[in-house]
Amino acid sequence: MTKLFTTAAAVALMAGTALAQQDTITVGMQLEPPNLDPTGGAAAAIDEVVYANIFEGLTRFGPDGSIQPALASEWEVSEDGTVYTFTLRDGVSFHDGTAMDAEDVVFSLNRARAEDSTNAQKALFAGITEVEAVDPLTVRVTLSEPNGNFPFNMAWGDAVIVAEETIEQAATTPIGTGPFTFTEWVQGDHVTISRNENYWGEAPALATATFKFIADGNAAFAAMMAGDIDVFPVFPAPELVSQFEADPRFTVIEGSTEGETILAMNNAVAPLDDVKVREAISHAINRQEIIDGAMFGYGTPIGTHFAPHNPDYVDLTETSNYDPEAAKALLAEAGAEGLSLRLMLPPPTYARRGGEIIAAQLREVGIETEITNLEWAQWLEQVFTGKDFDLTIVSHTEPADINIYARPDYYFQYDNADFQALIADLAVESDPEARAAMNKEAQETIANDFVNAYLFQLAKVGVANANIEGLWENAPTQANDLTDVRWTE
Amino acid sequence: MLRFALTRFVSLTLSLLIASLVIFAVIEVIPGDPARYMLGINASEDAVAALREQLGLNDSLALRYLDWLGGMLTGDFGLSYTYKVPVSELVMQRLWVSLPLALYALALSTLIAIPVGLIAAARRGSAADYSIMGATQLGIAVPNFWFAMLLVLIFAVTLRWFSAGGFPGWDAGFWLGVKSLTLPAFALALPQASILARVMRSALIETLGEDYIRTARAKGLSRRQATVRHALRNAMIPVLTIIGLQFSFLLAGAIIIENVFYLPGLGRLIFQGITQRDLIVVESLVMLLVFAVILVTFLVDVAYAAVDPRLRRGR
Amino acid sequence: MKLPVQLLIGAVLSVFFVAAALLSFIWVPHDVATLTISDKLQGPSPTYWLGTDHLGRDTLSMLMVGARTSIAVAIVAVGIGMAVGVPLGLMAAANRGSLIDEIIMRGNDLIFAFPSLVIAILITAVFGPSAVNAILAIGIFNIPVFARVTRGGALSIWTLDYILAARVAGKGRVRISVEHILPNILNLLIVQGTIQFSLGILAEAALSYVGLGAQPPTPSWGRMLAEAQTMIFTDARLAILPGLAIVAMVLGLNLMGDGLRDLTDPRVRRARA
Amino acid sequence: MIGLESLSLSIHGTPILRDIDLSIAPGKVTGLVGESGSGKSMTALAIMGLLPNGSDVSGAVRLGDENLLNVSERRLCDIRGNRIGMIFQEPMTALNPVKTIGDQVAETLLIHGRAERREARRIAGEKLARVGLGHMPLTRFPHELSGGQRQRVAIAMAIALHPELLIADEPTTALDVTTQAQILDLLNEIVDEEGMSLLLITHDLAVVAGMADHVAVMKEGEIVEQDATEPLFRNMNHPYTKALFAASSHQPDRKPLPVTDAILTADAVVRDYPTARPSLFAPPGRFRAVNEVSFTLGKGESLGLVGESGCGKSTLTRAILGLDPIQGGRITAFEREVGPDFPNALRAGIQVVFQDPYGSFNPRWTVERLVSEPFHLMPSPPKDRRARVAEALTDVGIDPSAMDRYIHEFSGGQRQRIAIARALITKPDLIVLDEAVSALDVSVRAQVLDLIARLQAEHGLSYIFISHDLSVVRSITDRVMVMRAGEIVEEGVTETVFTDPQHDYTRTLIAATPRIPDDWQEDGQHA
| Among A37, A123, A226, beta carbon nearest to B42 | A123
Separation in Å, CA of B272 to nearest CA in chain D? 44
Is residue B82 within 8 angstroms of chain A, CB to CB? yes
pLDDT > 80? residue A1: no
Chains that touch A (3 or more CB pairs under 8 A): B, C
Residue A16 confidence (pLDDT): 42
Q: How far apart are the first and last CA of chain A?
A: 31
pLDDT > 70? residue A375: yes
* Segment among A15-19, A166-170, B199-203 with least mean pLDDT: A15-19
Which residues of chain C make contact with A371, given a CB cutoff of 8 A?
215-217
**Edge-to-edge strands, sheet with D430-434:** D350-353, D430-434, D462-467, D302-306, D479-484, D487-493
Please say whether the dihedral angle defined by the alpha carbons of residues A158, A391, C69 and C124, taken in this order, is positive or negative: negative
Residue A98 confidence (pLDDT): 92
Q: What DSSP letter does each residue of chain B carry, written as one string?
A: -HHHHHHHHHHHHHHHHHHHHHHHHHHHTS-S-HHHHHH-TT--HHHHHHHHHHHTTTS-HHHHHHHHHHHHHTT---B-TTT-SBHHHHHHHHHHHHHHHHHHHHHHHHHHHHHHHHHHHHTTTSHHHHHHHHHHHHHHHS-HHHHHHHHIIIIIIIS-SS-SS----GGG-HHHHHHHHHHHHHHHHHHHHHHHHHHHHHHHHHHHTSHHHHHHHHTT--HHHHIIIIIHHHHHHHHHHHHHHHHHHHHHHTHHHHHHTT---HHHHHHHHHHTT-HHHHHHHHHHHHHHHHHHHHHHHHHHHHH-GGGSS--
What's the CATH code of the domain at C88? 1.10.3720.10
Percent of chain A with pLDDT over 90: 53
| Residue C261: CA count within 13 A, CB half-sphere | 14
B166 and A32: CB-CB below 8 Å? Answer: no
The CA distance from D197 to C7, in Å, is 50
Domains of chain B: 2-74 (no CATH), 91-312 (1.10.3720.10)
Tell me the pLDDT band of D279, cut-offs 50, 70 and 90. low
Tell me the pLDDT band of B3, cut-offs 50, 70 and 90. low
Q: Which residue range(s) make up the domain with C96?
A: 5-29+39-272
| Among C168, C184, C273, beta carbon nearest to D364 | C184
Taking a C-beta distance cutoff of 8 angstroms, is the pair B199, B122 a contact? Answer: no
Instruction: Indicate whether A278 belongs to any domain.
Output: yes
Residue D522 confidence (pLDDT): 54
C37 and A363: CB-CB below 8 Å? Answer: no
Question: How does the average pLDDT of chain A come out, rounded?
Answer: 88
The DSSP 8-state label assigned to residue D503 in this structure reads S
Tell me the pLDDT band of B73, cut-offs 50, 70 and 90. confident
Separation in Å, CA of B233 to nearest CA in chain A? 42
Tell me the pLDDT band of D277, cut-offs 50, 70 and 90. low
pLDDT > 90? residue A388: yes
Q: Which residue of C has its CA nearest to D320?
A: C168
Is residue C173 within 8 angstroms of chain A, CB to CB? no
Q: What is the mean pLDDT of residues B171-197?
A: 89
Q: Which residue of C has its CA nearest to B283?
A: C122
D376 and C171: CB-CB below 8 Å? Answer: yes
pLDDT tens profile A227-285: 888 999 989 888 888 888 888 999 999 888 888 999 999 999 989 999 999 999 999 99
Residue A94 confidence (pLDDT): 94
Judged by DSSP in three states, A182 sits in strand
Q: In terms of C-beta distances under 8 Å and separation of at least 24 residues, what long-range contacts does D379-384 make, across chains too?
A: D379/D344, D379/D345
Separation in Å, CA of A340 to nearest CA in chain C? 15
pLDDT tens profile A133-174: 999 999 999 999 888 889 989 999 999 999 999 988 888 899
D376 and C167: CB-CB below 8 Å? Answer: no
The CA distance from B294 to B275, in Å, is 27
What's the CATH code of the domain at A146? 3.90.76.10
Of B122, B264, B95, B125, the C-alpha closest to B204 is B122
Instruction: Indicate whether A20 belongs to any domain.
Output: no
Instruction: Indicate whether A190 belongs to any domain.
Output: no
The CA distance from D198 to B89, in Å, is 73
Same domain membership, residue A390 and residue A271: yes
| Beta strands at D350-353 and D430-434: parallel, antiparallel or unpaired | parallel
Tell me the pLDDT band of C266, cut-offs 50, 70 and 90. low
D residues 401-440 near C, CB within 8 Å? 419, 422
Q: What is the mean pLDDT of residues D419-445?
A: 91
Residue B262 confidence (pLDDT): 77
Q: What is the mean pLDDT of residues A83-91?
A: 93
Q: What is the mean pLDDT of residues B263-279?
A: 83
Q: What is the mean pLDDT of residues D115-129?
A: 91
> Rounded to 5 degrees, what are φ and ψ at D266?
-110, 130
- Last residue in a domain, options A137, A169, A201: A169
Q: What is the mean pLDDT of residues B264-282?
A: 83
Separation in Å, CA of C261 to nearest CA in chain B? 13
pLDDT > 50? residue A7: no
Same domain membership, residue A394 and residue A262: yes
Q: Which residue of D has its CA nearest to C183?
A: D364
Tell me the pLDDT band of A9, cut-offs 50, 70 and 90. very low
Residue C97 or residue A87, greater confidence = A87
- Does an H or E element contain D363, and which? none
Domains of chain D: 91-162 (no CATH), 262-349+428-526 (3.40.50.300)
Instruction: Indicate whether A24 belongs to any domain.
Output: no
Residue A122 confidence (pLDDT): 85
C168 and D350: CB-CB below 8 Å? Answer: yes
C118 and B270: CB-CB below 8 Å? Answer: yes
Instruction: Indicate whether C34 belongs to any domain.
Output: no
> By 3-state DSSP, what share of chain A in percent is helix, strand and coil, each rounded to 5?
35, 25, 45
Which residues of chain B make contact with D94, given a CB cutoff of 8 A?
211-212, 214-215
Instruction: Indicate whether A268 belongs to any domain.
Output: yes
Residue C127 or residue D321, greater confidence = D321
Question: How does the average pLDDT of chain B come out, rounded?
Answer: 84
Q: What is the mean pLDDT of residues D88-115?
A: 89
Residue A17 confidence (pLDDT): 45
Is residue C126 within 8 angstroms of chain B, CB to CB? yes
pLDDT > 70? residue A15: no
Q: What is the mean pLDDT of residues D89-108?
A: 89
Which residues of chain B make contact with D46, given a CB cutoff of 8 A?
none
Instruction: Indicate whether C239 belongs to any domain.
Output: yes
Is residue A218 within 8 angstroms of chain B, CB to CB? yes
B191: amino acid identity, one letter: P
Q: What is the mean pLDDT of residues C45-61?
A: 86
Residue C273 confidence (pLDDT): 33
Same domain membership, residue A377 and residue A263: yes
Tell me the pLDDT band of A3, cut-offs 50, 70 and 90. very low
pLDDT > 90? residue A57: yes
Residue C52 confidence (pLDDT): 86
Instruction: Indicate whether A5 belongs to any domain.
Output: no
Taking a C-beta distance cutoff of 8 angstroms, is the pair D95, B215 a contact? Answer: yes
pLDDT > 80? residue D110: yes
The CA distance from D270 to D325, in Å, is 10
C128 and A372: CB-CB below 8 Å? Answer: yes
**A-interface mutation test, from C41, C58, C230, C235, most A Cβ less than 10 A away:** C230
Tell me the pLDDT band of B4, cut-offs 50, 70 and 90. low
Q: What is the mean pLDDT of residues D72-94?
A: 90
A381 and B32: CB-CB below 8 Å? Answer: yes
Tell me the pLDDT band of C234, cut-offs 50, 70 and 90. confident
- Last residue in a domain, options A119, A149, A169: A169
Which residues of chain C make contact with A239, given a CB cutoff of 8 A?
54, 230-231, 234
Domain count, chain A: 2
Taking a C-beta distance cutoff of 8 angstroms, is the pair C108, C200 a contact? Answer: no
| B243 burial type by CB count under 10 A (0-12 exposed, 13-18 middle, 19+ buried) | buried
* Segment among A85-89, A240-244, B3-7 with least mean pLDDT: B3-7
The DSSP 8-state label assigned to residue A281 in this structure reads H
The DSSP 8-state label assigned to residue A204 in this structure reads P
| Among B11, B29, B141, beta carbon nearest to C126 | B29
Residue B180 confidence (pLDDT): 86
Residue A69 or residue B33, greater confidence = A69
Residue D33 confidence (pLDDT): 92
Residue D527 confidence (pLDDT): 35
A373 and C33: CB-CB below 8 Å? Answer: no
Residue A107 or residue C137, greater confidence = A107
Of A268, A273, A414, the C-alpha closest to A336 is A273
Gyration radius from chain D CA atoms: 25
- Last residue in a domain, options A128, A144, A169: A169
Separation in Å, CA of C127 to nearest CA in chain A? 10
Residue A390 confidence (pLDDT): 95
Residue B90 confidence (pLDDT): 84
Q: What is the mean pLDDT of residues D161-184?
A: 90
pLDDT > 80? residue B202: yes
Of A317, A236, A295, the C-alpha closest to A458 is A295
A240 and C33: CB-CB below 8 Å? Answer: no
Which residues of chain A make contact with C133, given a CB cutoff of 8 A?
none
Domain count, chain C: 1
Q: Is the ipTM of this complex over 0.85?
A: no
Is residue C47 within 8 angstroms of chain A, CB to CB? no
Tell me the pLDDT band of C64, cut-offs 50, 70 and 90. very high
Taking a C-beta distance cutoff of 8 angstroms, is the pair A261, B203 a contact? Answer: no
pTM, full prediction: 0.83
Q: Which residue range(s) make up the domain with A114?
A: 60-169
pLDDT > 90? residue A429: no
Instruction: Indicate whether A285 belongs to any domain.
Output: yes
Which residues of chain C make contact with B290, given a CB cutoff of 8 A?
113-115
Of D228, D248, D231, D251, the C-alpha closest to D240 is D248
